[in-house]
Amino acid sequence: MDRPPSVDALARSMADTGLPHPVLVDAARAAIAAGEPGRARAHADAFRRRLLQRVVNGTGVLLHTNLGRAPLAVDQPAAYRNVELDLDTGRRGSRSASAGALVARACGAEAGLVVGNGAAAVLLVLAALARGREVVVSRGELVEIGGGFRIPDVMAESGARLREVGTTNRTRLADYRQAVGDPTGDAALVLKVHRSNYRIEGFTEDVAVAALAALGVPVVADLGSGLIDAACPWLADGPPSWLAGEPAARQTLAAGAAVVTFSGDKLLGGPQAGVICGRADLVSACARHPLARALRPGALVLNALQEVALSYLDRTAEALPFWRMATAPAEGLRSRAEAIAAACGPGADVVATASLTGGGTLPGVEIASFGVAVPGDHLGALRAADPPVIARVVDGRTVVDLRTVEPDDDGVVAAALAAVSVA
Ligand SMILES: *Cc1c(COP(=O)(O)O)cnc(C)c1O
């Protein structure tokens, strides 16, 4: 026998957990090695809690990177798909013919290409359009988005050379013009990066895409957030006030950007993906680059993004979970908070809260919302609930913001809060 029977017996005694036997063996072995066989079940539970699972987002942060950013319902039966098959000719087709083309249509671009995430989109654009050449970027836009995405580092990995212009707070058209026109330089692109997650205020100056477009080299705008159209034609009430000033793909292209890049799971409300939209020749250069093969998404993502793009073209994108939650009237959230607080009993209060878009979008922008608060810090107990409820602590109280909670989960929130406020 290659393993002490007690490990195997202990593992078998936990078969009711439903976890695979090898996992239970690991849990049993770890507990025995620690001299605490009685804690084997705790090890198994800890394993289960590391698995991906549904959680209730009570943080009020709509695009919470730790919670997978935009929530999205997709129903994909097991099936083959014509990912790269042209059904007319029977020949090999283009992976961009579906989602990429539809997103491009939605933002008024000639062509579109989908990759794995926004960082991959920027990397591919720089590698395909500027390897070995200069890319002109304002010093005020050398951003770090988080999770290791830093413009200078991505630039270095792409093989393009960063040419910084201007200063942290002020960059003028003349700064760009000098770099683009420098006879000893070799500018391939001007890159405009959206300062997604911070602001520069005070004595500042910035150059608009329209002015940059006249400089003679293609302008690439890394928008990050993926707002398709500033007019939000898919929202019955038009653009919410909190979106003011957020650059949108359609308007940035119309202003003269040759290419825009953005994420699929930020303000687009879709699956994790990166989108490259713009001039057909440039997008196709990206598609032909060897890195495109390494960065391409699979059928699951393409299919989900296709559905999202169709909903924008249909003007039904208001029903995407992100937009539905983001635009839910605060009064409705207040009523739900009142019902939950009443169900929790004394100690639970309705509180006005400020939701955020999050995910590195719209820094400092708050969306008025309502939540339920109970005294004390119960974040750990709420995370231990089934399903886990992720909350925030504000001024010594645990708050669940209802803007990011599906109404169907109100009962879950009420039960979880009632349990902790009694305890
Ligand atoms: C979010 C963001 C990225 C990175 O996109 P991911 O989808 O997170 O990889 C790149 N650039 C900007 C400006 C962003 O806001």
Structure tokens at 354: 């400020």
**In this structure, which residue's CA is closest to atom 7 in ligand 1?**
118
**In this structure, which residue's CA is closest to atom 11 in ligand 1?**
224
Q: Of 3-12, 88-97, 175-184, which one has max mean pLDDT?
A: 175-184
Q: With cut-offs at 50, 70 and 90, classify the pLDDT of residue 1.
A: very low
Q: What is the mean pLDDT of residues 59-67?
A: 96
Please report the domains of the chain, with CATH numbers, ordered by start residue.
56-70+324-421 (3.90.1150.180), 95-319 (3.40.640.10)
**CB of 360 closer than 6 angstroms to any ligand 1 atom:** yes
Q: With cut-offs at 50, 70 and 90, classify the pLDDT of residue 217.
A: very high
Distance 391 CA to ligand 1 centre (A): 25
Q: Please report the pLDDT score of residue 361 as a whole number.
A: 80
Q: What is the mean pLDDT of residues 377-402?
A: 97
0.85 exceeded by the pTM?
yes
pLDDT at 268 over 60: yes
Residue type, 18: G
Of 276, 270, 272, 271, give the one whose Cα is nearest residue 249.
276
Q: With cut-offs at 50, 70 and 90, classify the pLDDT of residue 423.
A: low
Quote the mean pLDDT of the chain.
Answer: 94
Query: Which residue in the block uniquely carries the two structure tokens 């420098």?
Result: 182
For 278-326, what is each residue's pLDDT tens digit? Answer: 999 999 999 999 999 999 999 999 999 999 999 999 999 999 999 999 9
Q: Do residues 363 and 243 make contact, with C-beta atoms less than 8 angstroms apart?
A: no
**In this structure, which residue's CA is closest to atom 5 in ligand 1?**
118
**In this structure, which residue's CA is closest to atom 12 in ligand 1?**
224
Cα 395 to the center of its chain, rounded Å: 28
Q: Name the residue of 142, 198, 262 whose CB sits within 8 Å of the most ligand 1 atoms, as the mutation to test its pocket.
A: 262
**Rg, C-alpha atoms of the chain:** 25
CB under 8 A, 24+ apart: contacts of 20-24: 23/47
| Number of the ligand 1 atom closest to the C-alpha atom of 195 | 13
Helix/strand/coil for 14: coil
Q: Name the residue of 263, 275, 295 whose CB sits within 8 Å of the most ligand 1 atoms, as the mutation to test its pocket.
A: 263
